Amino acid sequence: MNANQAGSDLAAAVAHTRERTELASRMYEAMVKDRKMLRGHLLLTYRCPKRCAVLHVLSTPQGVIFGWPRYKTAPQTTEGQSSPSGRTANTEDGHRRWKRRASFSDSVANAPVRCDHLMHVLELAEIQSDLDDEHYPRDVVVSR
Ligand SMILES: [Zn+2]
């Protein structure tokens, strides 16, 4: 394989991941708007100790989707934990209303979760071991 070909393979892989992520986002969007559908796909809901939902793990025919609900951070948390460019790209109001987003589990390395009470990164192995206990759907409280 020459460098050009490697470059175009990489570009194709990136485009493929982007399309999959857009698909995951559209599916998650549809599920959030229809609670019954969400319920039907839901495996796990990770929650902060104060019960905010910080991550949905959903089973779909196309693969497992991680869905991050939209959330709002307090002004002091917002300023301390994010950059202006991050806020512009990822919030609805350019400030502290963070957009809903989703990805297929096979296209992420881990799952950062946060709300006003929590800032944590869930490792895939951790989520996998929560999935091994086949009681669905259920809540998992993230205590750190
Ligand atoms: Zn919370």
pLDDT in tens, the chain (144 residues): 677 888 888 899 889 889 999 999 999 999 999 999 999 999 999 999 999 999 999 999 999 999 999 988 888 888 888 889 999 999 999 999 999 999 999 999 999 999 989 999 999 999 999 999 888 999 999 986
- 102 within 8 A of 25, measured Cβ to Cβ: yes
SS3 content of the chain, % helix, strand, coil (to 5): 45, 30, 25
CA of 52 to the centre of ligand 1 (A): 4
What pLDDT is attached to residue 1?
A: 63
CA of 64 to the centre of ligand 1 (A): 24
Domains identified in the chain, total number = 1
Provide the domain limits for residue 66.
3-141
Alpha-carbon gap, residue 132 to 25, rounded angstroms: 25
- 100 within 8 A of 30, measured Cβ to Cβ: no
- 105 within 8 A of 65, measured Cβ to Cβ: yes
